[in-house]
Amino acid sequence: MVDLVLRAANLTKVYRGRRGHAPVDALSDVSLDLERGTTFGIVGESGCGKSTLARLLVGLEAPTSGTIRIDDQPVVISERSASRELARKIQLVFQDPFSSLDPRMTVGKALKEVLTVHSLHTDMTSLRASELLSMVGLTRRFAERYPHELSGGQAQRVAIARALAVEPEILVLDEPTSALDVSVRAEIINLLVRIQDELKLSYLFISHDLSMVRHISDDIAVMYLGRVVEMGRYDQVFVTPLHPYTSALEDAIPVPNPEHERSRQAAGAVAVHVQVDKVTRGCPYAPRCALVEPRCRDTAPTLTEKANGHMVSCLVALDDAQ
């Protein structure tokens, strides 16, 4: 039997429009199941709702509708907060590590403070602080440092240690390496993989970059304009992508070969980053789709199983023989 640590069903988030603007459908009917001890990759371009999903899952914001269960318990979200015990079980690591660190607080103090935030009446002894720092590859001396004395990579290690301090079961990693130098990205990924293994953690790993999630994910969801357009096991999504947007994202993965790069640009694969206005009828991806058919402009597809848990939201892909 599959052991699900987290189950999100039909999550929707509508933000009230800023003055004079229409409401924003940041997230529409997103469902996903995270199996214990595995990594679920979520990928999609900037603005597609990834961080909104992250904030709902960790209880920083309430969904407009939909439910979240952790360890088969409903996360009761009032407008004000989620269940405290469940909130502890799921921790968020942000893209910008400095945003989660108070500039006036030493690393040691920041580790201590997170226990207070969660009303955990355990002590952050200096031994425990050293243990947490060592887990993220830092010496205990870092406990005395202030955020401005840390490099980006070191700050992200501290942010990870802080998330681990409350002994969570799930880490939501929202583009955890995007703000870092290319040279330290692999170090942080390797660190996360090692920690997951040691602590048997479950990860939701969010990135705008498919090449980031491809090596570490067991399952993948591809998001477009607030919806999941394709979802499945890692090999299903990578070996036999069904949605034309997934293929476009794959084509956009930089290949260190100038010849290939030129032909790729000529083929229009880079058009993936063009912003498109919201479509009110038919398939939201139709204006950018290479496979678009007349019916796509009338009928909106729904996320449907094509084969063995491999889901896609595309009329054309669903009709194609396997």
Binding residues vs Mg ion (CB under 5 A): 50-51
Which of 24, 105, 166, 270 binds ligand ADP (CB under 6 A)? It is 24
Tell me the C-alpha to C-alpha distance, in Å, between residue 202 and each of 163, 170, 293.
13, 5, 40
The encoded tokens of residue 122 equal: 């355990």
Per CB under 6 A, 28 contacts ligand ADP: no
Which of ligand ADP, Mg ion, none interacts with 116 (beta carbon under 5 to 8 A by kind)? none
Q: Report, in Å, the least distance between residue 93 CB and ligand ADP.
A: 14
Q: Report, in Å, the least distance between residue 208 CB and ligand ADP.
A: 7
DSSP 277: P
User: Position of tokens 């790069």?
Assistant: 261
Which of Mg ion, ligand ADP, none interacts with 236 (beta carbon under 5 to 8 A by kind)? none
Which of 5, 6, 11, 26 binds ligand ADP (CB under 6 A)? It is 26
Cβ proximity to Mg ion: between 50 and 118 the closer is 50
Q: Report, in Å, the least distance between residue 63 CB and ligand ADP.
A: 13
Per CB under 6 A, 151 contacts ligand ADP: no
DSSP 205: E
Among candidate residues 15, 28, 38, 109, the one with its CA nearest the CA of residue 300 = 28
Which of Mg ion, ligand ADP, none interacts with 24 (beta carbon under 5 to 8 A by kind)? ligand ADP
Angstrom distance (rounded) from CA 122 to CA 143: 18
Show the binding pattern over residues 287-306: x = contacts ligand ADP (CB under 6 A), - = does not: --------------------
Per CB under 6 A, 227 contacts ligand ADP: no
Q: Report, in Å, the least distance between residue 18 CB and ligand ADP.
A: 6
CB 121: neighbour CB atoms within 10 A? 7
Among candidate residues 197, 162, 192, 167, the one with its CA nearest the CA of residue 177 = 192
Give every CB contact of residue 279 below 8 A, 6+ residues apart in sequence: 286, 287
Cβ proximity to Mg ion: between 138 and 180 the closer is 180
- The end-to-end CA distance of the chain, in Å, is 28
Q: Report, in Å, the least distance between residue 174 CB and Mg ion.
A: 6
CB 283 within 8 A of CB 314: yes
Which of Mg ion, ligand ADP, none interacts with 176 (beta carbon under 5 to 8 A by kind)? none
DSSP 218: S
Angstrom distance (rounded) from CA 217 to CA 233: 8
Angstrom distance (rounded) from CA 316 to CA 297: 12
Q: What angle do CA 40, 42, 44 make, to 5 degrees?
A: 165
Per CB under 6 A, 284 contacts ligand ADP: no
Q: What angle do CA 69, 70, 73 make, to 5 degrees?
A: 65
Q: Report, in Å, the least distance between residue 60 CB and ligand ADP.
A: 11
Cβ proximity to Mg ion: between 209 and 261 the closer is 209
Give every CB contact of residue 63 below 8 A, 6+ residues apart in sequence: 11, 12, 13, 27, 56, 77
Which of Mg ion, ligand ADP, none interacts with 15 (beta carbon under 5 to 8 A by kind)? ligand ADP
**Position of minimal CB gap to Mg ion:** 51
Per CB under 6 A, 190 contacts ligand ADP: no
CB 95 within 8 A of CB 179: yes
Which of ligand ADP, Mg ion, none interacts with 26 (beta carbon under 5 to 8 A by kind)? ligand ADP
Show the binding pattern over residues 37-56: x = contacts ligand ADP (CB under 6 A), - = does not: -------x-xxxxxxx----
Cβ proximity to ligand ADP: between 133 and 223 the closer is 223
Residues near ligand ADP (CB under 6 A) are 15, 24, 26, 44, 46-52
